């Protein structure tokens, strides 16, 4: 077994957390490649080291004295080193980092040091080789990951390395300077490493026991999803449910390597398996429910709209010209509705209305705001009757008025539009009927 294990910031925020991580790694011979994040929060209003680094560099870039900010960062690492009783000094590294800060090494360089330093500690703690991703993960001139070059170089470098620590979150720009992924990007490093070593599994260790059926801020203690496909995950993630960086999926999806989301604080929990495809039936017909508030709808009416070829294209072109992407476009015989993000639409609404008048001469245009979209997602709904009926019965019982319904041809999801104020009630009632009624 060859496993790549990535640990998030909260799993590495203190010596105590490092110890848990050490036990997890040592308990399984297969856990050979370790990708650490920077130390995260130790308690809820603590500051992540990555944010401390951005802040410190901000001062350095402004020519201010950043000595005290840097000392605070150093203290975070020293606390871990001392707590683990390691014979390790990061003095040289900190001297070099301070020097580079003075020489304006850039925001990305600054932020990447969080993972770099944590990787040094992790390698020392485990007795694993330290490999700096700046030599093996590459971005092209557009700032996009050069996946092919990265995979070739990283695979070659790791070929004969039995065990290694590879810090997450960064690589090298085309000009050799350090470049980071977007926030949360250590997940991406983990997946790149998993691809390069052709891992059997990519374990992503965090502080929750997997992907939850729905948002715990809306439903108390929701069930954990035991297995989810990449496609289902994408639907839910698009609607705001996140445990994993979106770009972490692509490299693995190509290779068919499963991802296992695990909880460092509850290592016996099996977590969530994210897979390409599975015969494993979801426990509750639906896999997950996610949603977002803050949509607006533009309702366009015109007599005989259905006979006008090109009507839809002209309408959508107006949105395109205004730089707006649309979410859903339900239509009737003489009506067409376009759902957009309210905040993006707000500044442009009058331009859009004028544009629509010019483009399609509608009889009327009516705007509605403060709408929410809810996605009910599940491979179990495919070729299975009754799911929609149960969803809408549940909503009716909870007195939720449904404004829009959209089901994709994949039968993987049903999207429901409701008013913002009904959002939580709607999610709770769908959860209740599919999950609570069955456990
Ligand atoms: N440390 C980085 C962040 O806070 C990257 C990561 O943790 O994945 O975003």
pLDDT digits (tens, 9 = 90+) for 300-351: 999 999 889 999 999 999 999 999 999 999 999 999 999 999 999 999 999 9
168 pocket-lining for ligand 1 (C-beta < 6 Å) = yes
pLDDT at residue 380, as a whole number: 86
pLDDT single digits (tens) 217-236: 999 999 999 999 999 998 89
∠ at Cα 131 (126, 137), nearest 5°? Answer: 140
d(CA 344, CA 351): 13
pLDDT at residue 280, as a whole number: 81
pLDDT at residue 253, as a whole number: 87
Ligand 1 atom at minimum distance from 185 CA = 8
Q: Cβ distance 272 to 323 under 8 Å?
A: no
pLDDT at residue 382, as a whole number: 81
Tokens of 143: 């700032």
Is the predicted pLDDT of residue 41 greater than 90, yes or no? yes
**b vs e for 291-318, b when ≥16 Cβ sit within 10 Å of the residue's Cβ?**
bbbbbbbbbbebeebeeeeebeeebbeb
Closest CA to 272 of 203, 210, 348, 349: 210
Q: Which of 48-52, 263-267, 377-381 has the lowest mean pLDDT?
A: 377-381
pLDDT averaged over every residue in the chain: 95
Is the predicted pLDDT of residue 90 greater than 90, yes or no? yes
Quick one: pLDDT band at residue 35, thresholds 50, 70, 90?
Answer: very high
d(CA 119, CA 134): 13
Ligand 1 atom at minimum distance from 183 CA = 9
pLDDT single digits (tens) 396-426: 999 999 999 988 777 789 999 999 999 999 9
379 pocket-lining for ligand 1 (C-beta < 6 Å) = no
The CA radius of gyration of the chain, in Å to the nearest whole number, is 25
CA of 37 to the centre of ligand 1 (A): 6
d(CA 372, CA 418): 5
Distances 25 to 11, 226, 354 between C-alpha atoms, Å = 13, 22, 61
185 pocket-lining for ligand 1 (C-beta < 6 Å) = yes
Distance from the Cα of residue 331 to its chain's centroid: 32
Closest CA to 418 of 406, 434, 436: 406
């Amino acid at each position: 077994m060859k496993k790549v294990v990535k640990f998030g910031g909260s799993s590495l925020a203190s010596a105590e957390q490092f110890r848990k991580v050490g036990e997890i790694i040592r308990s399984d011979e297969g856990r050979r490649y370790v990708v650490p994040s920077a130390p995260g929060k130790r308690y809820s209003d603590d500051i992540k080291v990555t944010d401390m680094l951005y802040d410190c560099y901000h001062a350095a870039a402004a020519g201010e004295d950043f000595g005290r900010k840097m000392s605070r960062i150093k203290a975070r690492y020293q606390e871990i080193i001392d707590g683990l009783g390691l014979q390790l000094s990061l003095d040289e590294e900190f001297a070099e980092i301070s020097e580079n800060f003075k020489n304006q090494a850039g925001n990305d360089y600054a932020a990447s040091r969080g993972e770099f330093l944590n990787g040094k500690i992790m390698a020392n703690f485990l007795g694993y080789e330290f490999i700096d991703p700046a030599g093996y993960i590459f971005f092209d001139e557009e700032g996009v990951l050069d996946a092919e070059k990265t995979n070739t170089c990283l695979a070659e470098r790791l070929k004969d390395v039995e065990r290694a620590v590879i810090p997450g979150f960064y690589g090298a720009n085309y000009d050799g300077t350090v470049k980071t992924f977007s926030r949360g990007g250590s997940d991406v490093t983990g997946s790149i490493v998993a691809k390069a070593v052709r891992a059997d599994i990519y374990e992503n260790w965090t502080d929750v026991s997997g992907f939850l059926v729905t948002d715990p801020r809306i439903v108390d203690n929701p069930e954990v999803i035991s297995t989810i496909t990449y496609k289902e995950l994408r639907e839910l993630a698009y609607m705001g449910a996140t445990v994993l960086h979106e770009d972490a999926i692509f490299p693995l999806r190509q290779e068919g390597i499963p991802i296992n989301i695990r909880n460092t604080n509850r290592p016996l929990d099996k977590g969530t398996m994210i897979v390409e495809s599975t015969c494993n039936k979801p426990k509750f017909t639906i896999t997950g429910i996610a949603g977002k508030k803050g949509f607006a709808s533009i309702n366009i009416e015109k007599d005989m709209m259905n006979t006008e070829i090109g009507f839809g294209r002209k309408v959508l072109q107006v949105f395109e010209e205004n730089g707006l992407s649309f979410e859903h476009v339900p239509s009737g015989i003489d009506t067409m509705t376009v759902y957009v993000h309210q905040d993006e639409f707000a500044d442009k609404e009058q331009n859009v209305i004028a544009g629509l008048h010019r483009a399609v001469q509608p009889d009327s245009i009516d705007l509605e705001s403060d709408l929410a979209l809810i996605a009910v997602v599940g491979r179990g709904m495919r070729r299975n009757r009754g799911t929609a009926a149960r969803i809408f019965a549940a909503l009716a019982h909870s007195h939720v008025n449904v404004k829009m319904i959209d089901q994709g041809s994949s039968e993987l999801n049903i999207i429901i539009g409701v008013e913002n104020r009904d959002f939580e009630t709607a999610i709770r009632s769908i959860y209740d009927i599919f999950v609570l009624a069955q456990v």
